[in-house]
Amino acid sequence: MTAIVQHWCDGKAFAGDSSATAPVTNPATGVVTANVALASVEDARTVIAAAADAFPEWRDTSLAKRTAVLFRFRELLNERKEELAAIITAEHGKVLSDALGEISRGQEVVEFACGISHLLKGGYTENASTNVDIHSVHQPLGPVAIISPFNFPAMVPMWFFPIAIAAGNTVVVKPSEKDPSASIWLAELWKEAGLPDGVFNVLQGDKTAVDELLTNKSIKAVSFVGSTPIAQYVYATGTANGKRVQALGGAKNHAIILPDADLDLAADAMVNAGFGSAGERCMAISVAVAVGDIADDLVAKITERATTIVTGDGTTNADMGPLVTKAHRDKVAGYVDAGEKAGATVVLDGRTVEADGGADGFWLGPTLFDNVTPDMSIYTDEIFGPVLSVVRVDTYDEALDLINNNPYGNGTAIFTNDGGAARRFGNEVEVGMVGINVPIPVPMAYYSFGGWKASLFGDSHAHGTEGIHFFTRTKAITTRWLDPSHGGINLGFPQNA
Ligand code: NAD
């Protein structure tokens, strides 16, 4: 019998009442390895209630005790991250080194949250009015929901839950149905670290689970990461139900390569950022904009490197794994068909890849298009696969216009040795995360992660000080200790005195 990946509720596995499930597949073999429970509304309410019940005690647990649990969680995660990486590779398909990389980036946020005591300090003003003092405090919101995509089953939840928990909130994580087991492993680790039951919960499911999280009165805030149409829906529905929402959406990240760039460095970067994790990264570079007469050389250098990439099972020495599902593999291959039909030059064709993996794996090799124009669907759409498009332009201004006219604004990069051009780009480009000779400029945990335009709905980016702000609310407390000189009735509006 195929195992069922269950929910995690109040410190233990929870089967729920719903008999609905979805298959979980190993993308490198095509074999269904488990089925994931899909919550009913009642199941979702049970899990949310556990988070609500645990909130008062966790909120009142001292900062010293809360952060002690985080330190233990960090140590356990660091010791045992190989176990989690194996789970990620088995359900997502990315190679093990990449799975370890995503865990390390998530761990950075745990480390950031270990120091939350400093960041939760409020302000204090003595004698704001005569014998009147004011101070401010940052308090947790209550139970919060984290809804995550398939492509980072560990890192994306970790962008949010360390800060939410350290700040005194309780959490319900709703993982992607495609790779649901990483969240359960993390839940077990929290228990081992000593987190009280009910503070960290996992709700498996689809739209039914998400809709309950968006409308249930107990949930005070929602952090979502996924595609733009769903991000927009989550933002609209969550805010209409009175919740604080940050909803991170899709991307179409461009890199500009100026004529003075180091073309070897730029070609390395295009290959790493275009084909790493089979292009299933929201910070992947999917468009290389070659400025001036360097395009032929750049394409040659990318081709030379990309042909050495071994596509195969992520548990072997392959460089690039399969796509997450057969349906997604076929959708990406459909874009390759469309690009060819639209007249782009197919320089490398991933459809013919001979992968080092199972015959039924969801394989597509690195694909490189040249002479791509902005009207083609391979340019306009987020493909989310190992497909890199080269667009040729004459000037920096044309390249900048391409980016600023794009509906997305997640990440971008410029490759140049001209400091003035780089500085101008940093200033003018309408994108949330910018790399100067850095292809995937994911900020460290103490900065905040987030895009602009259709890549983020809401006003708070993930982690860093914006994360602290998102998971707390501020209260200003005005104090006067009784003094006979301040007695007497005065119906006027309080004024400074
Ligand atoms: P997705 O939008 O299909 O799913 C994301 C989450 O929403 C999942 O938990 C899923 O169960 C849920 N969901 C799906 N359909 C829903 C519906 N109709 N109603 C309610 N909930 C629904 O995204 P995905 O395919 O899992 O992930 C890939 C996408 O995520 C890409 O677009 C990628 O760019 C984006 N992404 C963005 C960032 C970022 O930081 N901006 C990071 C990672 C991934």
Q: Which atom of ligand 1 is nearest to the CA of 227?
A: 32
Q: Which atom of ligand 1 is nearest to the CA of 382?
A: 32
Cβ of 125: how many Cβ atoms within 10 Å? 13
377-415 per-residue burial string, b: 16 or more CB within 10 A, e: under 16: ebbeebbbbbbbbbbbbeebeebbebbeebebbbbbbbb
For 276-327, write each residue's pLDDT tens digit: 999 999 999 999 999 999 999 999 999 999 999 999 999 999 999 999 999 9
pLDDT recorded at residue 52 = 99
Pocket of ligand 1 (CB under 6 A): 147-152, 156, 174, 176-177, 206-207, 210, 225-227, 230, 248-251, 282, 382, 384, 410, 451, 455
Q: Which of 7, 24, 105, 227 to mutate to test the pocket of ligand 1 (most atoms within 8 A of CB)?
A: 227
Instruction: Report the distance separating Cα 492 and Cα 263, nearest Å.
Output: 71
Task: Please report, in angstroms and rounded to a whole number, the separation of the first and last CA atoms in the chain.
Answer: 76
Residues 383, 280 contacting (CB under 8 angstroms): no
The mean pLDDT of 436-440, rounded to a whole number, is 96
Which residue CA neighbors atom 34 of ligand 1 most closely?
250
Instruction: Report the distance separating Cα 294 and Cα 288, nearest Å.
Output: 12
Which residue CA neighbors atom 21 of ligand 1 most closely?
207
State ipTM. 0.99
For 186-213, write each residue's pLDDT tens digit: 999 999 999 999 999 999 999 999 999 9
The mean pLDDT of 374-402, rounded to a whole number, is 98
Tokens representing 152 are 């980072």
The mean pLDDT of 396-406, rounded to a whole number, is 98
Residues 185, 87 contacting (CB under 8 angstroms): yes
How many Å lie between the centroid of ligand 1 and the Cα of residue 231?
A: 7
Instruction: Report the distance separating Cα 335 and Cα 381, nearest Å.
Output: 9
How many Å lie between the centroid of ligand 1 and the Cα of residue 176?
A: 8
pLDDT of residue 496 exceeding 90, the answer is no
How many Å lie between the centroid of ligand 1 and the Cα of residue 470?
A: 20
Q: Which of 36, 282, 412, 455 to mutate to test the pocket of ligand 1 (most atoms within 8 A of CB)?
A: 282
pLDDT of residue 490 exceeding 90, the answer is no
pLDDT of residue 485 exceeding 70, the answer is no
Q: Which of 5, 38, 225 to mutate to test the pocket of ligand 1 (most atoms within 8 A of CB)?
A: 225
pLDDT of residue 447 exceeding 80, the answer is yes
How many Å lie between the centroid of ligand 1 and the Cα of residue 314?
A: 23
Average pLDDT of the chain is 97
DSSP reduced 3-state for 417: coil
pLDDT recorded at residue 61 = 98
pLDDT recorded at residue 487 = 72
For 26-41, write each residue's pLDDT tens digit: 999 999 999 999 999 9
Q: Is 420 exposed, middle or buried (0-12, 13-18, 19+ CB in 10 A)?
A: exposed
Q: Which atom of ligand 1 is nearest to the CA of 147?
A: 9
pLDDT of residue 486 exceeding 70, the answer is no
Question: Taking the model in full, what pTM does it have?
Answer: 0.97
How many Å lie between the centroid of ligand 1 and the Cα of residue 249?
A: 7
How many Å lie between the centroid of ligand 1 and the Cα of residue 229?
A: 9
Residues 25, 323 contacting (CB under 8 angstroms): no
Instruction: Report the distance separating Cα 457 and Cα 409, nearest Å.
Output: 11
pLDDT of residue 488 exceeding 90, the answer is no
Residues 243, 221 contacting (CB under 8 angstroms): yes
pLDDT of residue 1 exceeding 90, the answer is no
Which residue CA neighbors atom 6 of ligand 1 most closely?
149
How many Å lie between the centroid of ligand 1 and the Cα of residue 225?
A: 6
The residues that are catalytic are: 282
Q: 349, 364, 265: which is closest to 307 by C-alpha?
A: 349
Q: Is 264 exposed, middle or buried (0-12, 13-18, 19+ CB in 10 A)?
A: exposed
Instruction: Report the distance separating Cα 330 and Cα 295, nearest Å.
Output: 30
pLDDT of residue 17 exceeding 70, the answer is yes
Q: Which atom of ligand 1 is nearest to the CA of 456?
A: 41
For 405-435, write each residue's pLDDT tens digit: 999 999 999 999 999 999 999 999 999 999 9
Q: Which atom of ligand 1 is nearest to the CA of 150?
A: 26
